[in-house]
Amino acid sequence: MGTGEQASDRQVPPWLYKLFTGHQYPYVRRQAKFGKKDRQPGETLAEPTREEIDEKFWEIFPKCTVKILEEVKSGMIVSFVELGNYNPGAYQELIEQPEEFLAREYGKKKIKVNFYDGDNFVCTINFKVDGWTGHDEE
């Protein structure tokens, strides 16, 4: 952070913060709970506070890479084809305007966006891009 910049000055879209810190994907919450430096062996740990979760979010999110995948359905089988990868800090437009970015870059598809902290899966979100309505119309 720059001089005079407070943690509260940093912002991400609400959907992204909720995706990373909500209960559906527990990676950030677990890191906040079990990553405490003053933890004693065998100690029962309380759930992390909002401040601890927020601190861990801002530690993890800036390091995350993104993988863009297309959902492809063949009969009853669903598979994913990798469309692109983004390094940390290289996907600002994706998080600010996901629908518009994905439509422009990848077209009318059902897309899965995965976030990773190194090799660790953090969370995922699906988008039905640019009016995509179903596999049957393709």
Domain span at residue 26 reads 12-35+46-62
Side-chain half-sphere exposure of 97, counting CA atoms within 13 A:
7
Per-residue model confidence as pLDDT tens digits over 56-74: 999 999 999 999 999 999 8
In a domain, 127, yes or no: yes
Residue 88: name the closest of 117, 111, 113, 109 by CA.
Answer: 117
Dihedral sign, Cα of residue 121, residue 124, residue 129, residue 134: positive
The total of structural domains in the chain comes to: 2
53 lies in the same domain as 74:
no
pLDDT over 70 percentage in the chain? 82
Residue 28 banded pLDDT, cuts 50, 70, 90: very high
Unique residue bearing structure tokens 């909002």: 50
52 lies in the same domain as 91:
no
68 lies in the same domain as 55:
no
Report pLDDT for 4: 40
Per-residue model confidence as pLDDT tens digits over 70-122: 999 989 999 999 999 999 999 999 999 999 999 999 998 899 999 999 999 99
Q: Is 37 exposed, middle or buried (0-12, 13-18, 19+ CB in 10 A)?
A: exposed
Contacts for 125 with CB less than 8 Å, ≥ 6 apart? 15, 19, 112, 113
